[in-house]
Structure 1
Amino acid sequence: MYTEFDSLLQRTGWSVAEASAKLGYSEGHIYRWKRGEETPREAVLTVLQMEVERRAPSAGSNAFTFIDLFAGIGGLRRAMESAGGRCVFTSEWDKYAQKTYLANFPDNRPIAGDIREVAEEDVPEHDVLVAGFPCQPFSIAGVSKKNALGRLHGFQDETQGTLFFDVLRILKHNRPAAFMLENVKNLRSHDKGRTFSVIRRKLEEELGYCVHTRIIDAGHFVPQHRERIVIVGFRDSVDFSFDDLELPAYGSRRLNTILHPEDGTENPEAHFTVGRRAEVSEKYTLSDKLWQYLQDYAAKHRAKGNGFGFGLFGPDDIARTLSARYYKDGSEILISRGKRKNPRRLTPRECARLMGYDDTFRIPVSDTQAYKQFGNSVAVPVFAEVARLMAPHIAAIMADAQADIRKVG
C-alpha cells in the first residue's frame, strides 16, 4: 500500500534524486517517506500537489480520449494519461507485451492484436491518436509510371503494405483533433529523406493536419542518450510550438539515479535484488567467458580503426541507447563493479527506470522479454512533456468543435 507521499511523487514524474533537489531534503528522507517510515511536513505534500496540478491540463479544459496503437508496454499511454487523457482503444500484436500492458493497465476491454486486421470503423471515436509505428521502407515512384503499369498511386500506393498506412487510414476515417507519433531519429534521413517526405505530405496535404516535428534526446530527462523523432499534428491551426518544451539540462540525471543503491535503502525485489541490502543478484554479472569475448571483440575492432565494442559505465555517467537486443549480452550498457571484477548488466527494473517508468510499473515477464520491451519502449518523460504541451491545444480544438455543433443545433 502506497503512502500519500509516494502517490503524489509518482504523479509528479520526479525521480528520488529530483525530489531531493526540488524539496531540499536528502534522498534518505525521500526513501523513508516513500516507505512510510517517516511522515513529511505538510509543506512537502503541498509542493508535490502543486507540481501535480501544474502538470495537469489547463483549468477549464476537457479531458480527452485517445487510442494507443503499436502500444508496446504502454509508454505513450502513460505520457498521455499524465496530461489528462483517457485511453479508449489499444492495439498491440506481441503476446508478451500484451501481458505487461495488461498487468499495468487492467482495462475492462481486450487489447486488439494486429491493427491490419481491425477495420477503421471498428475503432472507437477518439480525440487523439498516438502511435510508435514501425517504419518499413516506402516505395516511391512517379504517378505516371504507376498509371502505365496499372498500379495504385498517391495515398494508397506509397504506403500500402507498411504499418504507417494503418495510422493514415484511421486518421482519415476518424479525423481526431490531434495525433502524436514516435519513431527513430533516422526516419528523417531514411532513403535520402524521401520516406519522411512521403509521411509529411500524407499528413499535411492529403489529410490536412498541421504538422510539427522535433528530434528530442531523452538525456534531458533520463541518464541515457536516446534520440527519437516526435511528430505532432493538429486538425486545426493552433499556436503549438516545440520551442515551448520545458527540457531539463541535458545530463542532469546520471546513472546513480536509476541503479540499485545496494545499501538497504530499497526493499529486495523478486530475483533482481537479494538480501538485507537488496544487492543486485549475481545472475546479472557477466561470466568470465562472455566478458573475455567482449574485450577481445572490442580490441579486434580497435585494431582495425573501428569504434565497435562494449560500453562500460559508472554511476556518474550517462548511458548509451538501450536497445531491444540488450538481452543478448548487455554489451551496450555494462555497469562497472570495480577493478578486477566482471561488470554486470542492468536489471530489468533498472531498465524500466532508465526509460522513465517508476517502481510501481509491474514486470510480469522473463528477463529476456523485459529487456526487449524496455529497449523498444519510449522514454516516458519525454512524451509526457510533449503531451503536456499538446493538452491545451487539444482542448481548444475540442471546444471549437463543440461550439460549432451548438450553432448547428
Structure 2
Amino acid sequence: MNKQFHIKVDEELHKQVRVHAASEGMSIQDYVLLALNSKIRESKTSKATVGKNKFTFIDLFAGIGGMRLGFEKAGGRCVFTSEWDKYAQKTYFSNFGDMPEGDITKIHEKEIPPHDILVAGFPCQPFSIAGVSKKNSLGRTHGFLDETQGTLFFDVARIIKEKRPKAFLLENVKNLKSHDKGRTFKIITKTLEELNYNIHVEVLDGKNFVPQHRERIFIVGFDKDIYKGQEFFTFPDMPVQKMRIKDILEKEVDPKYTLSDKLWAYLQNYAEKHKAKGNGFGYGLVDLDGTSRTLSARYYKDGSEILIPQGENVNPRKLTPRECARLQGFPESFKIVVSDTQAYKQFGNSVVAPLIEAIAKQITQALESFSVKDKKEVS
C-alpha cells in the first residue's frame, strides 16, 4: 500500500524543484521521490561503507552499470556517474539507486569528486584535427590533447588531467586499434602518456566468462607521478569457459520471441544471396552446447546474430531480455524496467560484467601491492 507525504515549501524552493524536474523530463512528484530515494541511499551507503571500501571510482558513459557491477564486486564505491540516455538512466537508477548525471560534455571537471579510479566505456568517434576549439579545453595550444577536442575521449582526458586518479580503465571495441588507419588509437595512447600515465593495453574476450564471443580492447593506466611506471599490474589470467548457451536459456519463453514466417524466410534468403556472392553475412543459429556471436545494440531489429533453434518444425527465436542479461554476466537480481527494444539496446551496448570484475581486481591488487612495497621501503 502506497503512503503519502503532505509537505509545504516556500515559493522559491517550489520554483527550483519545478525547474529541475522539467529539465529532467520528470513530474514534480517523481523528481521529489527520486531525490528522497537518492538521499536515503546516500546516507545508508556512507554509514555502511566507512572503512570497508578498498577504493572509490567514477563511472563515465555508464550505460546501465555493467562496469559499476564489476568494480563494486571488487570492493569499490562509486562516487559519481554520468550517462545521457534517459532509458539507461532509468535502468541504472532502478538497480543502483543513483540517478546518473547527464551529458558529460556539459559537466565541468572541477564538479566531479575526487576518486581513486576512473572507469569509462567511451564511444569511439572520428577524431578532429588539431586546432578545433572546445569549451573547457585543457589549456593546451598544441599536441595530442588538442587533437582530441570535439570527441568524447576529450572529456575523459580533461577529467583525468584535473582529478589525477591513481588509475583508470577505458573500454572500447576491438577495432579501435585499426580505426582511421591506427591514427585514433595513436592519438589516445599519446594523450594518456602526455598526461603522465603508464598504460597497459590488451584485447580480451568475454567468452572466457560467459558463453559469448565478445572481444573488447581495455586500456589500463597508472599515474606515473605516484607509481613511476613500476606498478605490479597484469591483465587477469583468463579462465576456461564451462558455460554453454543452453545454460543461460529460460525454461519457458513467450511465443512472441519466435520469428515470424516472413522474417525467418527473409533472413534465410538474405544469407543465401550473400553466400552466393562469397560473403559471410547472415544469421547466426547458435550451437546450444557452444558460445554465441557478439550481442549488439541492433539485436532488437531482428535478432539475427544470435538465434536459438527450436526444432525442425518451429522457427528459431530471439533471446529474451533476461537471457541477454545472463549472456553479459549480469546477476539474476538485476532489474529490467524498460521495453524489450530498449533492453536489447542496453545489454548490447554493455559489457561482460565478470570480465570487468576480474580486471578491477587486478587494478586493485596493483594499487595495494605498491602501497605495501612503499611502506616496506619507508620502514
TM-score (norm 2): 0.79
The alpha carbon displacement at 1:253 in A equals 1.9
Contact 2:300 2:345 in 1 (8 A): yes
Equivalent AA in structure 2 for residue 337 of structure 1: Q
**Of 115, 119, 123, the match for 1:126:** 115
**Of 286, 294, 309, the match for 2:259:** 286
Equivalent positions of 1:6-405 (< 5 A) are 63-107=54-98, 110-140=99-129, 152-204=141-193, 206-235=194-223, 236=227, 237-242=229-234, 245-249=236-240, 251-260=241-250, 262=251, 279-396=252-369
The alpha carbon displacement at 1:190 in A equals 1.1
CA distance in 1, matches of 2:187, 2:126: 11
Contact 1:68 1:91 in 2 (8 A): yes
Where do 5+ consecutive residues of structure 1 fail to align?
Answer: 1-59, 143-150, 263-278
Q: Any idea what the Cα deviations from partners look like across 1:297-347, whole Å, max 9, x if unmatched?
A: 111111111111100013212100000000000000000001121000000
The alpha carbon displacement at 1:240 in A equals 3.2
CA distance in 2, matches of 1:299, 1:358: 38
Where do 5+ consecutive residues of structure 2 fail to align?
Answer: 1-50, 132-139
Q: The residue matched to 1:231 in structure 2 has which SS?
A: strand
Q: CA, structure 1 residues 307+227, in 2 after alignment: closer, same or farther (shift >3 Å)?
A: same
Q: The residue matched to 2:217 in structure 1 has which SS?
A: strand
Contact 1:177 1:398 in 2 (8 A): no
Sequence identity of aligned pairs in percent? 63
Equivalent AA in structure 1 for residue 199 of structure 2: V
CA distance in 2, matches of 1:84, 1:399: 18
The alpha carbon displacement at 1:169 in A equals 0.3
The alpha carbon displacement at 1:65 in A equals 0.5
The alpha carbon displacement at 1:248 in A equals 1.2
Contact 2:248 2:327 in 1 (8 A): yes
Q: CA, structure 1 residues 123+396, in 2 after alignment: closer, same or farther (shift >3 Å)?
A: farther
Equivalent AA in structure 2 for residue 93 of structure 1: W
CA distance in 2, matches of 1:172, 1:363: 36
The alpha carbon displacement at 1:396 in A equals 4.9
The alpha carbon displacement at 1:62 in A equals 6.0
Equivalent AA in structure 1 for residue 222 of structure 2: F
Q: The residue matched to 2:150 in structure 1 has which SS?
A: coil
Q: Any idea what the Cα deviations from partners look like across 1:92-113, whole Å, max 9, x if unmatched?
A: 0000000000111013xx4210
Q: CA, structure 1 residues 289+106, in 2 after alignment: closer, same or farther (shift >3 Å)?
A: same
Equivalent AA in structure 1 for residue 307 of structure 2: L
The alpha carbon displacement at 1:86 in A equals 0.2
Q: The residue matched to 2:266 in structure 1 has which SS?
A: helix
After superposition, the CA RMSD in angstroms is 2.5
Q: The residue matched to 1:232 in structure 2 has which SS?
A: strand
What is the aligned length?
Answer: 318
Equivalent AA in structure 1 for residue 172 of structure 2: N
Q: Any idea what the Cα deviations from partners look like across 1:165-184, whole Å, max 9, x if unmatched?
A: 00000000000100001000
CA distance in 2, matches of 1:93, 1:252: 36
The alpha carbon displacement at 1:238 in A equals 3.6
Contact 2:55 2:77 in 1 (8 A): yes
Q: Any idea what the Cα deviations from partners look like across 1:212-257, whole Å, max 9, x if unmatched?
A: 01000101111111000010011123443435x13112x4321012
CA distance in 1, matches of 2:375, 2:114: 15
Contact 1:286 1:342 in 2 (8 A): yes
